[in-house]
Amino acid sequence: MSPRVLWGRKAAPPTEWALRERQLIAEMDRAAPAFQERYTRADGTLVWRASWPGMDGSDDGYESFHNWPLYYALGGAAEIHDRSRFLWDAVTRQFSAYGQIHREFDAYYDWMHHGESSIYLYYFGLADPSREPDRGRALRFAGMYIGNDPEAANWDAARRMIRSPITGSRGPRFVNSWEDWATHRAVLAGYPVPFDDLGVPVSVREWQPGEHVAIADWNDDAVYAAILAALNERQMRCDVPLNLTSTSLVTHAYLLTGEERYRRWVLDYLGAWAERITANGGICPDNVGPSGVVGETLQGRWWGGYYGWRWPHGFMSIIEPLTIAAMNASLLTGDLGWLDIPRGQLDNIIGLGREERGRLLVPHRHTDEGWTAYRPLSPHHAAQIWYLSQDERDRRRLESIPETKTDWLEVRPGRGKGDDIHFGPWYCYLDGRNPRYPLRILEEQYAEVARRMGAMRNDRGDPELWDVHHWQELNPVHTEALLQLTTGSPQVIYHGGLLHAALRSFDAVRRRPGLPEDVALLVTRLDGSSLELELQNLGVREERRLLLQAGGFGEHRFASVEDMDDGSAARGLDDAAVEVRLAPSAHLRLRLGMRRFAAAPSYATPL
């Protein structure tokens, strides 16, 4: 069935936000190729050293270009799409030669880092879900975690658990070698010691303001040997919450195929963790032993696992994979009740908080001495839950976090590693408190592109001495502004989340994802039943045609459409997409009523 057609015929002068949006796209179209030509060889491999030890690093290679296919899917040049695939292949070859990659996937590492590199793969699904070999790779990689790959026996179906916190294309890594952590030793020498009873020299230092912890020197070979032995004995045969991030890889396979086995695995695995949380009094344990028993390798302790409650990141390493997995389960079922799993962890940790000098501080770590590391709570994960649910209770929880009251109107310069530091001012724009936000974020992201290009031009360093993060800190492609303004969605959770968007756009003439040439889009309001947007054709000669899809994966349905300028409306609809035809210079405002999670999600497009 052809999509319903909406017409925008009313000419209007170009708005400033529209001009800046198209300017940002134009500059990134030019900046990305210049970045590639500066930092890669003719075969696409990074200009860097001849060898790289340990298990770390490939994620950082992928992260250097990870958002390029997403940028294309939002409206960037088709050339960037082609370059992104060429560079994915090049990073894979380069880090295979180094030894980190095997069969095109990390040989073994944790899902904090698998998650960072895998979002590159997920964005290929948004760019072109039919493209090979990406589709075949995605299904092969998912098979490594659902029990379909004998060489990568990461999944224990009987116990509904992933068999180690270090997994990959070679299977679970039960024993870490001396070389595996070689590149980490200097960094971890400044981290809290992983266990209290190792019998190694420690020094007490301030880790966070007001928080003093024991630090062990990983650079000392004797200390390193003792720590490595303890990690292998106590952590490496356990499942951990961090592994729930793998649900994005398997959900990605479902979105490509619609096969029930992928959906069932995600729900089964998250369900197993939900049962463990209930059995542990509502607090998520951070380790499950090889027999499926919590605390089995840690003398009964539910804390002390890899990237768990004792880990320096603490609560973040618990709430983030739970949030990612619950969002995936909600997408796959349309049942937002899955979000109760991370909601419960947020409510518990807030309940354990205390007020100091007018600020709410919550414990971020649990050690043998109990709850510790009292710090302000980041609103980041509560914000993602609210965005997906659009539930007033989740909004109230979000706004009860004191950190939402400070600096939420401010557009900070620069960008975080995940390009996700501006949720607050965007949220305040949607509720009417920050009307200039679209201009400010577009100005700031343009300035950041210019800053990075300037840094690239003046980069005189020796590639042999560059850190493995060098290129991602200069990548000039940014997507936070375009995601918020054109899809009505926040940036993905960087350590492996999928893009849960309210809206997607497609060029109906060129039959590709993203905004057509000359077209700018701004989502101005959204809630659980509708969104409002503005569209503008900045071209003065040609009509532009685009398709608007309900939901990032077609999981919603348009129930009504209304032209907010002339009041005309159509109701009682059940449309996956609508077509908009914009006359030259036309400006159009629409209100789109939506039935959310009314259809099975898929990468299939309305083209």
Q: What digits encode the pLDDT tens for the residues 235-254? A: 999 999 999 999 999 999 99
Give the mean model confidence (pLDDT) for residues 550-575: 96
Parallel, antiparallel, or unpaired: how do β-strands 557-563 and 587-595 relate? Answer: antiparallel
Angle at 560 between CA 554 and CA 566, to 5 degrees: 130
Taking only the tens place, the pLDDT of each residue in 301-328 is 999 999 999 998 899 999 999 999 999 9
Whether the Cβ atoms of residue 585 and residue 539 lie closer than 8 Å to each other? yes
Statement: residue 406 has pLDDT above 80: no
Alpha helical stretches, state H, 40-77: 58-63, 68-74
Question: Of residues 468 and 416, which shows the higher confidence score?
Answer: 468
Query: Considering only 353-362, 391-400, 421-430, 557-566, which range has the smallest mean pLDDT?
Result: 353-362
Whether the Cβ atoms of residue 176 and residue 231 lie closer than 8 Å to each other? yes
User: Quick one: 151 exposed, middle or buried, by C-beta within 10 A (0-12, 13-18, 19+)?
Assistant: exposed
Dihedral angle, C-alpha 294, 296, 299, 302, nearest 10 °: -20
Angle at 165 between CA 149 and CA 282, to 5 degrees: 115
Cis peptide before 321 (omega within 30 of 0): no
Question: For position 1, what pLDDT does the model report?
Answer: 63
Global pTM reads: 0.98
Distance, in Å, from the CA atom of 427 to the CA atom of 525, rounded to the nearest integer, reads: 10
Distance, in Å, from the CA atom of 184 to the CA atom of 98, rounded to the nearest integer, reads: 16
Sheet holding 587-595, edge to edge: 519-526, 530-537, 587-595, 557-563, 569-575
Distance, in Å, from the CA atom of 565 to the CA atom of 7, rounded to the nearest integer, reads: 12
Whether the Cβ atoms of residue 14 and residue 538 lie closer than 8 Å to each other? yes
Token pair for residue 69? Answer: 């296919």
User: Is residue 377 included in any domain, yes or no?
Assistant: no
Distance, in Å, from the CA atom of 150 to the CA atom of 538, rounded to the nearest integer, reads: 55
Question: For position 105, what pLDDT does the model report?
Answer: 98
Taking only the tens place, the pLDDT of each residue in 278-303 is 999 999 999 999 999 999 999 999 99
Tell me how long the chain is: 607
In single-letter form, the type of residue at position 266 comes to V
Q: Whole domain around residue 220: which residue ranges?
A: 175-235
Token pair for residue 447? Answer: 């300035």
In single-letter form, the type of residue at position 452 comes to R
Crossing angle of helices 260-279 and 246-257, in 10° steps, is 150
Alpha helical stretches, state H, 179-245: 185-188, 221-234
Token pair for residue 244? Answer: 């729930």
CB atoms within 10 A of CB 543: 16
Question: For position 209, what pLDDT does the model report?
Answer: 80
Distance, in Å, from the CA atom of 26 to the CA atom of 589, rounded to the nearest integer, reads: 24
Residue 223: which of 191, 251, 252 has the closest Cα? 191
Helix or strand (DSSP H, E) at 445: helix 437-457
Residue 57: which of 83, 96, 89, 103 has the closest Cα? 96
pLDDT bin (cut points 50, 70, 90) of residue 212 is confident
Distance, in Å, from the CA atom of 537 to the CA atom of 188, rounded to the nearest integer, reads: 52
Give the mean model confidence (pLDDT) for residues 568-593: 97
Statement: residue 358 has pLDDT above 90: no
User: Is residue 200 included in any domain, yes or no?
Assistant: yes
User: Is residue 211 included in any domain, yes or no?
Assistant: yes
Query: Considering only 24-28, 196-200, 329-333, which range has the smallest mean pLDDT?
Result: 196-200
Statement: residue 594 has pLDDT above 90: yes
Distance, in Å, from the CA atom of 265 to the CA atom of 154, rounded to the nearest integer, reads: 13
Angle at 274 between CA 273 and CA 278, to 5 degrees: 115
**How far does Cα 212 stand from its chain's mean position?**
31
Give the mean model confidence (pLDDT) for residues 499-526: 98
User: Is residue 303 included in any domain, yes or no?
Assistant: no
Average pLDDT, the chain: 96
User: Is residue 393 included in any domain, yes or no?
Assistant: no
Count: domains in the chain: 1
How does DSSP assign 116-184, residue by residue?
HHHHHHHHHHHH-TT-TTHHHHHHHHHHHHHT--TTS--EETTTTEES-SSBSTT----S--TTTTTTT
Parallel, antiparallel, or unpaired: how do β-strands 512-513 and 354-356 relate? Answer: unpaired
**Residue 300: left if φ>0, alpha if ψ -120 to 50, beta else—which one?**
left
Question: For position 403, what pLDDT does the model report?
Answer: 85
pLDDT bin (cut points 50, 70, 90) of residue 210 is confident
Question: For position 269, what pLDDT does the model report?
Answer: 98
